[in-house]
Amino acid sequence: MSEVHLTINGLQVTAQSGQTILEAARAAGIDIPTLCHHPMLSNHGACRMCLVEVKGMRTLQTACTCPVAEGMEVQTETDEINECRKFSLELLFSERNHYCMFCQVSGDCELQALAYRYGLDHWRYPRPYEKMAVDASDPYIIMEPNRCILCTRCIRACAEIVANHTLGLRERGSATMVMADLDVPLGQSSCVECGVCLQVCPTGALIDARSAYGGHAEEVTHTQTTCMQCSVGCQLDVISRSTRILRIHGVWNTEPGGGLLCVDGRFRPLYETRERIAQPLVRDHGKLVPAGWTEALAIVAKKLKSGRVLGLASGATSNEALVAFAGLMAQVGGKAGQTMPALPTLGFGQPAAVQDILATDYIIVAGANPLVYQKVVGYLIRRAADRGTPVALIDVPRGGLEASAVLSVSGQYAATVTEQAAQAQAPLIIYSVGLKPGVARALKPLAHARWLALAPGRNSLGARAAGLAPLEGHDLTSSRFDVLFFLLGEGSEEGGVMPRLDGAFKIVQTAYRSPLAEEADVVLPAPIWAERSGHVTNLEGKTLPLNPVVPMPDGVRDEAEVLDTLRTMM
């Protein structure tokens, strides 16, 4: 890349060859309005908002697509340019329905903001009153085609960011419309509800079903925190007003996911249906009844001192809570571990980061199912495949990745994959709990490979670091325990190893009612993801921060604080 010198509005600007005028201007702090352009997406050049004047060129140029050249003289705000921009806006407003006062995203709309900026107080052309059906078939995303300006940001996002290719355009000319698959309702399409289309749509054409009519963007708080729903640890921009969470966006250009989220991180936490536990519960005459913290902790402390204790952590909690839990268990001389299965080791190669998926020349997925359990990793693998990176699957269940794979084999044929990958400069092995020792051996000739181990569950690496190793079945059955202490966080007990519950005194520290909580003798309430401070450790082994978005309900206390209190009572 070489340096290119140009002037923008008379200012000397140095840019890199290959950059567009828009990129060069933004890097120099000069604002050019855009609508179809999005910094995370390929350039499209459809909306004409970014028109600029380039000396010597016959017509105005679209800054988002026009590459810089040595000696260029660019003007971004002449009368002619502003007239053209206003006219483009007028045309956009003349088509479909842009009556902002009835729009769910009024105040949070790029089209509306530009109309204010260019003083578009009326439009001259009658709009054709064709009414298009609103598609509310998806639980999270409403498609309102009457407000679509056909910028194709959503289509590019679906193809280029999540690599799902659900969205496309149908027809042409004035009949052109955004649609899913074979023009089916979104809720019945191949959409994986990652919501990235929603995040990039500049208008009210894609609406977040939950926060519709949530009010103006200026009145909200943005909090960056880490998603706790799986071990990837994507960065969330949580948008809230006072104590209500409106919606969740991904944070562009952050590791690990780059700003992409999945349905488990973006939508499901806001649609939680489990009943929250907001004060300690103790069993009294066979029933769980509310109790004060002092009473509940006194009972727990007494029990912990009175017998053999087994502590089980689910990993759906912070590193701080896990460390405090391990400390408490050590202090009472109990056995403690996590309920998540053990993650095998490969025995060779160097660790990689999630973003390395996009920077490798051969991907092997072994004994893992990322499209189900670590979805953003799965999407990045598909994105790499779209760019031409060969993807080979070993012991990967059917369910999506095979459509991106060049090869899919069961473990006994792993050597075939090794052969194929041998030519690669920087092969990447992505594996999880399903990696068989035989497969690891068969891959061993790829000594120069890097690996990404997909930790099961949520914060199982944080639990590991706190000294809570995976418990095996025989750990639980080899001896009887008098007291069982579950650090469940906001998880559910399914999926992990579980001891027999009969006989022992059961303490459960959890955020939600669940079958396990119902069997407990004492239930201690815990915070959920949006209320936590502290850290988690993601599958790359990075420590990522948790920042509270909303306060804990009265009666809930942070687990680490409760566990430390218990330690002082021992």
Partner 1 sequence: MPLDFTKPTPPSDDKRWKLVQATMRRWGNHHDALIETLHTVQESFGYLDNDALTYVAAALRVPLSRAYGVATFYHFFRLKPAGKHTCVVCTGTACYIKGADQILESIRQAYDVKPGETTADGQISVLTARCLGACGLAAAVVYDGEVAGKQDAASTLERLGKWVEQ
| 159 makes contact with partner 1 (CB under 8 A) | yes
By DSSP bridging, strand 350-351 and strand 362-366 are unpaired
Q: How far is the CB of 167 from partner 1 (least distance, A)?
A: 6
**Interatomic CA distance for residues 151 and 196, integer angstroms:** 15
Per-residue interface string for the shown chain with ligand FES, residues 62-91, x marking contact by CB under 6 A: x-x---------------------------
Which residues touch 145 (CB under 8 Å, ≥6 apart)? 96, 132, 133, 134, 135, 177, 178, 205
Q: What is the DSSP string of 309-342?
A: EEEEE-S-S-HHHHHHHHHHHHHTT-EEEESSPP
Hey, how many other C-beta atoms are within 10 angstroms of the C-beta on 119?
A: 9
Q: Based on the number of CB atoms within 10 Å of its own CB, is 252 exposed (0-12), middle (13-18) or buried (19 or more)? A: middle
User: What's the gap between Cα 45 and its chain centre?
Assistant: 29
Give the interface size with ligand SF4 as a residue count (CB under 6 A): 41
Among 134, 169, 359, 372, binds partner 1 (CB under 8 A): 169
Cα 372 to Cα 97, 378, 431, 457, 568, distances in angstroms: 38, 8, 14, 12, 42
**Main-chain dihedrals φ then ψ at residue 222, nearest 5 degrees:** -110, 130
162 binds, among partner 1, ligand FES, ligand SF4, none (CB under 5 to 8 A by kind): ligand SF4
Q: Which of 37, 96, 98, 464 binds ligand FES (CB under 6 A)?
A: 37
Establish if 193 lies at the interface with ligand SF4 (CB under 6 A).
Answer: yes
Q: Which is nearer to ligand FES, 61 or 459 (CB)?
A: 61
62 contacts which partner out of ligand FES, partner 1, ligand SF4, none, CB within 5 to 8 A by kind?
A: ligand FES
Cis peptide before 290 (omega within 30 of 0): no
Is 376 near ligand SF4 (CB under 6 A)?
A: yes
Residue 356 CA, chain-centre distance (Å), reads 17
Q: What is the DSSP string of 337-384?
A: EESSPPPP--SSSEE--GGGGGG-SEEEEES--HHHHSHHHHHHHHHH
**Segment (H or E) for 91:** helix 79-94
**Quick one: which segment of 55-63, 125-133, 369-377, 495-503 binds ligand SF4 (CB under 6 A)?**
369-377
Q: Pick one of ligand SF4, ligand FES, partner 1, none as the site partner of residue 49 (Cβ within 5 to 8 A by kind).
A: ligand FES
Of 43-51, 198-206, 268-276, 375-383: span binding ligand FES (CB under 6 A)? 43-51
Per CB under 6 A, does 46 bind ligand FES?
Answer: yes
- Residue 48 in contact with ligand FES, rule: CB under 6 A: yes
Q: How far is the CB of 44 from ligand FES (least distance, A)?
A: 6
268 interacts with, out of ligand SF4, partner 1, ligand FES, none, CB within 5 to 8 A per kind: none
Tokens coding 291: 């109790």
Beta bridge partners of residue 52, listed in sequence order: 61
- Please say whether the beta carbons of 556 and 328 come within 8 A: no
Per CB under 6 A, the list member of 60, 89, 192, 313 interacting with ligand SF4 is 192
Residue 219 DSSP label: G
3-class DSSP assignment, residue 24: helix
The reply on whether position 179 binds ligand SF4 by CB under 6 A is no
In the complex, the smallest distance separating the C-beta of residue 430 from partner 1, rounded to whole angstroms, is: 18
Interacting stretch for ligand FES, rule CB under 6 A, among 44-52, 408-416, 418-426, 546-554?
44-52
Q: Which stretch binds partner 1 (CB under 8 A): 25-33, 180-188, 225-233, 549-557?
A: 180-188
What are the residues binding partner 1 (CB under 8 A)? 155, 159, 165-172, 179-183, 190, 402-403, 405-410, 413, 416
What are the residues binding ligand SF4 (CB under 6 A)? 141, 148-154, 157-158, 162, 164, 166-167, 178, 191-197, 201-203, 205-206, 227, 229-230, 232-234, 257, 261-262, 264-265, 374-376
